[in-house]
A = this chain, B = another copy of it.
Amino acid sequence: MRELEFDELEALAIGAGVLGTGGGNHPHLELMCAQAEYNRGHRISLIDPQELSDDARVAVVCIMGAPLVTKERLPEPIAICKAVRLMEAHCGKPFDAIMSIEIGGENAFFAMLVGMELGLPVVDADTMGRAFPEAQMASFAIRGLSVAPFAIADIRNNSVLIPEAENATRIERIGRKAVVELGSIAGTCAAPRSGREVKDHAILNSVGRALKIGNAVLAARRTGSNRVDAVLEAEKGALLFTGKVQDVSRRTTDGFVRGKAVLAGRDSFEGRLLEIDFQNEFSVARLDGRRIACVPDLITVLDEENAEAIGTEVLRYGQRVAVVALPADPIMTSAEGLPVVGPRAFGFDFDYTSFAEQLT
Contacts and interface: CB of A to CB of B under 8 A. Distances in A.
Nearest to A173: B181
A160 B158 contact: no
A166 B170 contact: no
Contacts of A163: 86, 159-161
Interface residues of A, number: 21
Nearest to A157: B166
The secondary-structure label for the interface of chain A is mixed
Contact of A161 (B161, B166, B173): B161
Contacts of A90: 90
Interface in A146-195: 156-166, 170, 173-174, 177-178, 180-182
A166 B170 CA distance: 25
Nearest to A92: B92
Interface string A191-221: 0000000000000000000000000000000
A317 to B, nearest CB: 35
Given A177-B178, A177-B180, A178-B178, A164 B157 contact: yes
Contacts of A173: 181
Contacts of A174: 158, 160, 177-178, 181-182
A168 B189 CA distance: 24
A302 B170 CA distance: 40
Nearest to A160: B162
A166 B156 CA distance: 7
Contacts of A161: 160-163
Contacts of A162: 158-161
Contacts of A158: 162, 164-166, 170, 174
Contact of A160 (B156, B157, B160, B182): B160
A154 B174 CA distance: 13
In the A-B complex, list the 4 residue pairs whose CB atoms are closest, starting with the nearest: A177-B177, A161-B161, A174-B181, A159-B163
30 contacts: A86-B163, A90-B90, A157-B164, A157-B165, A158-B162, A158-B164, A158-B165, A158-B170, A159-B162, A159-B163, A159-B164, A159-B165, A160-B160, A160-B161, A160-B162, A160-B163, A160-B174, A161-B161, A161-B162, A161-B163, A170-B181, A173-B181, A174-B177, A174-B178, A174-B181, A174-B182, A177-B177, A177-B178, A177-B180, A178-B178
Given A158-B164, A160-B162, 8 more contacts: A157-B164, A158-B165, A159-B165, A160-B174, A161-B161, A161-B162, A177-B181, A178-B178
